[in-house]
Amino acid sequence: MFKDERFTKEQRKAMTAEQLRKQPWVPPVFRPLERNMLDLDPSDHTRLRALVQKPFTPRLVEQMRSRTESLAEQLLDAVAQKGEMDLVRDYALPLPMTLITEILGIPARDRDKFHRWSVIVSVNQFNSNWRAIPAIWMFNRYLRRFFKERRANPKDDLTSALIQAEEGGDALSDDELFAMVFLLLVAGHETTVNLIASGVLELLEHRDQTDKLQDEPSTIRSAVEELLRYTSPVFMSTERFAREDVTIRGVTIPQGELTLGVIGSANRDETEFENPDVLDLTREDNNHLAFGYGIHSACVLR
């Protein structure tokens, strides 16, 4: 499904005129979110990806690595004396949220409300839930002002780099900037929180694997890949729509209908993985789909 051209990310490209007429009204405040890369096909997706990849220079990536290590140590030092910790509250959530807001250039004083808005928006973005409208409106207003400030006074942050990014004389519009920052924020922190929390839980429940990892720290890379496969931090893919009637294993998906891929199921596929329901931190040839696949794979920004 990730690579099958019979499916599209853009709902309107798949639907018949009759289906389009039956679509519910979407509040205007939700519409800028539709301009994010995850919801677009080429050539719009290709254009946005080219613009967004430009700021991710080796220097920025190295800065991210160094800051990640120091922040992780700070968070662990802060709870070391307590003898206990709330893993999500004290570590899994503040680690990626702090990093992403720092990289974007969001002032420290605004990070708590930035996080509150992003959680409400991410939970409701696909449902156009009216309860999310106030948060999206405030989120939108804040970012528009922030973009205006950065256009006038660029800083050494990712937001300024995105504003300045050009490819063939092209640049991101304000709607595209808003959608991009939202995508980086939500996709960048939710998945990390899920992996850290679920991964630690599995390590606690599989003491033999934890002991093996502690005895052989060099296996950390394969261990992370296996935890990605085993826990599937993103259990369901984002939506795709059938451009035509599509029959898969005897089941027909009608044109225009929404389809979701179950990544968590694919990552336990017995035809791809030996003993798929067994956690093996030394597993080799681990071709999991935790980051998706194809042009919308999260690996394009890894």
**Tens digit of each residue's pLDDT (9 = 90 or more) over 108-132:** 888 777 777 766 655 544 445 666 7
Instruction: State the average pLDDT over residues 142-170.
Output: 87
Q: Can you give the pLDDT at residue 95?
A: 93
Residue 264 lies in a domain: no
Distance, CA of 217 to CA of 281 (rounded, Å): 11
pLDDT grade for 34, boundaries at 50, 70 and 90: confident
The CATH number that applies at residue 224 is: 1.10.630.10
Residue 156 belongs to some domain of the structure: yes
CA 140, 142, 148, 154 torsion: positive or negative? negative
pLDDT at site 126: 45
154, 41 contact by CB (below 8 A):
no
Residue at 292 is within a domain = no
Instruction: Please give the pLDDT value at position 26.
Output: 73
Label residue 34 exposed, middle or buried (CB < 10 Å: 0-12, 13-18, 19+). Answer: middle
If one compares 175 and 75, the residue with the highest pLDDT of the two is: 75
Q: Which residues pair with 240 in a beta bridge?
A: 259
pLDDT score of 199 more than 90: yes
User: How much is the mean pLDDT over the chain?
Assistant: 86
Q: Are 2 and 237 in contact (CB under 8 A)?
A: yes
Determine the pLDDT at residue 124: 44
Residue 131, Ramachandran bin (φ over 0: left; ψ between -120 and 50: alpha; else beta): alpha
Q: At residue 24, does pLDDT exceed 90?
A: no
Question: CA 252 from chain center: how many Å?
Answer: 30
Question: Is 63:158 a contact under the CB 8 Å cutoff?
Answer: no
Whether the predicted pLDDT of 81 surpasses 80: yes
Q: What pLDDT score was predicted for residue 68?
A: 93
Full-model pTM: 0.85
Q: What is the bridge-based pairing of β-strands 246-248 and 251-253? A: antiparallel
Measure the CA–CA gap between 95 and 100, rounded to whole angstroms: 9
> pLDDT tens, 235-272?
998 889 999 999 999 999 999 999 999 999 999 999 99
Whole-angstrom distance, CA of residue 67 vs CA of residue 62: 9
Mean pLDDT value of segment 179-197: 84
In a domain, 186, yes or no: yes
Assigned domain for 4 exists: no
Would you say residue 29 has pLDDT above 80?
no
How many domains in the chain? 1
Locus of tokens 């893993």: 87
- Tokens, residue 117: 């808005």
Q: 62 pLDDT exceeds 90?
A: no
pLDDT reported for residue 186: 73
Domain that residue 90 falls in: 25-233
Q: Which of 15-29, 69-83, 91-105, 191-205 has the lowest mean pLDDT?
A: 15-29
Mean pLDDT within 14-31: 81
pLDDT bin (cut points 50, 70, 90) of residue 302 is very low
Does some domain include residue 190?
yes
Indicate whether 34 belongs to any domain. yes
Per-residue pLDDT at 300:
41
Residue 59 has phi, psi (to 5 degrees) of -65, -45
Q: Is residue 255 part of a domain?
A: no
> Would you place residue 282 in the very low, low, confident or very high pLDDT band (cuts 50, 70, 90)?
very high
Going by C-alpha positions, the residue among 126, 104, 124 that lies closest to residue 116 is: 124
Residue 167's pLDDT is 66
Measure Cα distances from 28 to 164, 184, 194, 238, 278 in Å.
27, 22, 31, 21, 47
Of the given ranges (53-57, 145-149, 250-254), which has the lowest mean pLDDT?
Answer: 53-57
Judge contact between 61 and 302, C-beta under 8 A: no
**Degrees (nearest 5) of the Cα angle 122, 27, 127?**
40
